[in-house]
Amino acid sequence: MESKDVQWVGGYPFLAYQPDVYAPDEMKKRSHEYLSLLQKRRSIREFSDEPVSIEIIHNCILAASSAPSGANKQPYTFCVVADPMMKAQIREAAEKEEYESYTHRMSEEWLADLKAFQTDWHKPFLEIAPYIIVVFKKAYDLTEDGTKKNNYYVAESVGLACGFLLAALHYSGLSALTHTPSPMNFLTALLKRPENERPFLLIPVGHASPDARVPDQSRKKLEEILVQY
């Protein structure tokens, strides 16, 4: 087994860090390539039922877990749902909440903002996409004896991991949607998650349908999102 260059600091092991180093021109090239790749990412609602290797999903989740997290607690659980019956149950419960949101909960301004996307409470993609990844945030950890252990910056940590996940899925050639039926407590019951986990995001994943369409919208320009000092 290869030995590690371990140095003990304050009673804890530290490893030498040797990141990949590139020449300035290569760095610019790589940044442009990555920008070009991610600018092609779009949220879709029209999925194909074409099968996807579970190994790809596992690799993308491992990539998500490489995101920074508070005190390296990695306070999340990724539930991958492929079972058709469970996907149908998730759809039924999600559509029930979405119907209430579209007909009673959402403000007129919110509904007006959604018109450009032509969405409604019907969510057939929850059954069509080969996988649903349900992300849970861990408000705290539980030891085997039931002792509670604190987690830190939970929302920020889970949000970063989800961003890494979406980028990894897109890089792998898959399409995804960030779906947040509100409230999402039904996911805790359906997936039988423990008391310390809260549903954070529901992500259908798969290939886009051949006739998929997305709104003709653009992202903000650099000067609209950047303040440089």
Contacts of 91-96 with C-beta under 8 Å, sequence gap 24+, read 91/123, 91/124, 91/126, 91/127, 93/181, 93/186, 93/187, 93/190, 94/123, 94/126, 94/179, 94/181, 94/186, 94/202, 95/121, 95/122, 95/123
Q: What is the pLDDT along the chain (229 residues), one digit of tens a residue?
A: 445 789 999 999 999 999 999 999 999 999 999 999 999 999 999 999 999 999 999 999 999 999 999 999 999 999 999 999 999 999 999 999 999 999 999 999 999 999 999 999 999 999 999 999 999 999 999 998 989 999 999 999 999 999 999 999 999 999 999 999 989 999 999 999 999 999 999 999 999 999 999 999 999 999 999 999 9
- The pLDDT value recorded for residue 205 is 98
- The pLDDT value recorded for residue 3 is 55
* Domain 47-209 indexed as CATH 3.40.109.10: yes
Query: pTM for the whole thing?
Result: 0.94
- The pLDDT value recorded for residue 64 is 98
